[in-house]
């Protein structure tokens, strides 16, 4: 199932204000061989909010060459645009789509419901609903999630993991949805607690750090999973301090995937990250 396991969300490299498709192909070819369960294309880490419709379309088409199953981010300020991306993703070979409540004007509960239900109605692919209040300012209530979960084409939810995720998982796990979590620092424990998926910012740039963690979880080796995850704590701390978006661009440049942040964003002085790169990578 597309909404299970470790899903890595890679950056979309930008240079001189435009998507650099040569670098994007290099990223795709590396990530495609990394052992991820899926790849999340054009998520927040993939700069979807900073790209034109033509660029988003071309990025989706580029990822159509991947062998790993992939999910397309279709978030948009209008429902019709999100639905267009669903059809582009389907034609390019995606196996699922994911959307958050991306809006300039805050949405009322009925507007939120209509947005997700209309996408689900007209998408040829199964939809993962992304509850992302930190970025969007929109909170998906438990009542709304129960309504959305009744739609046959809404098959998953992605939400933020917490340091203590037990109470949140108790609320979400009864829903007929594949429950997945973001926030890398807490997602290992969320997976050990029964989550279906780990939607990872870090795994889209450094999959070799987290694929072994999830492999241990799948084998039931909780001790090994925690030990391997412990090694990544310094990176988690940097991501929390500077944002995963900025840190991933810094790591990508270190890997030779030349990229810049879209203006006015700037890469911070994060320090030496070379310790996290394996030999030959």
Q: 20-68, pLDDT tens digit by residue?
A: 999 999 999 999 999 999 999 999 999 999 999 999 999 999 999 999 9
Q: What is the mean pLDDT of residues 166-183?
A: 90
Q: What are the φ/ψ torsions at residue 7 (nearest 5 degrees)?
A: -115, 120
CA 168 vs CA 92, 161, 165, 242: distances in Å? 35, 8, 5, 26
- For the segment 260-278, the average pLDDT, to the nearest whole number, is 86
Which structural domains are found in the chain, ordered by start?
A: 5-228 (3.20.20.70)
d(CA 56, CA 61): 9
pLDDT at 90: 98
Confidence of residue 237 (pLDDT cuts 50, 70, 90): very high
Per DSSP, helices labelled H in the chain are 21-31, 53-63, 79-92, 109-122, 133-136, 142-149, 166-172, 184-192, 207-218, 222-230, 233-242, 244-254
């Amino acid at each position: 199932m597309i909404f299970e396991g470790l899903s890595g969300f890679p950056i979309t490299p930008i240079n001189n204000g435009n998507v650099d498709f040569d670098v994007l192909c290099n990223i795709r070819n590396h990530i495609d061989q990394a052992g991820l369960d899926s790849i999340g294309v054009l998520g927040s880490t993939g700069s979807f909010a900073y790209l034109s419709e033509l660029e988003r379309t071309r990025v989706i088409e580029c990822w159509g060459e991947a062998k790993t199953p992939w999910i397309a981010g279709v978030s948009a300020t209008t429902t019709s645009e999100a639905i267009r991306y669903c059809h582009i993703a389907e034609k390019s070979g995606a196996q699922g789509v994911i959307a958050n409540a991306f809006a300039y004007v805050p949405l009322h509960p009925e507007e939120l419901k209509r947005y997700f239900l209309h996408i689900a109605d007209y998408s040829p692919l199964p939809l993962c609903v992304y509850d992302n209040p930190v970025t969007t300012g929109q909170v998906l209530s438990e009542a709304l999630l129960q309504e959305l979960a009744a739609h046959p084409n809404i098959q998953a939810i992605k939400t933020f993991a917490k340091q203590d995720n037990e109470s949140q998982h108790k609320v979400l796990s009864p829903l007929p949805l594949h429950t997945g979590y973001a926030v890398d620092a807490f997602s290992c424990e969320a997976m050990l607690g029964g989550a279906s998926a780990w939607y990872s910012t870090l795994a889209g740039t450094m999959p070799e750090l987290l694929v072994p963690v999830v492999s241990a979880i799948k084998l039931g080796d909780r001790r090994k999973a925690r030990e391997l995850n412990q090694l990544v704590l310094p990176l988690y701390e940097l991501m929390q301090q500077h944002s995963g978006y900025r840190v991933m661009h810094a790591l990508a440049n270190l890997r030779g995937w030349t990229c810049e942040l879209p203006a006015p964003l700037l890469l911070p002085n994060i320090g030496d990250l070379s310790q996290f790169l394996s030999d030959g990578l």
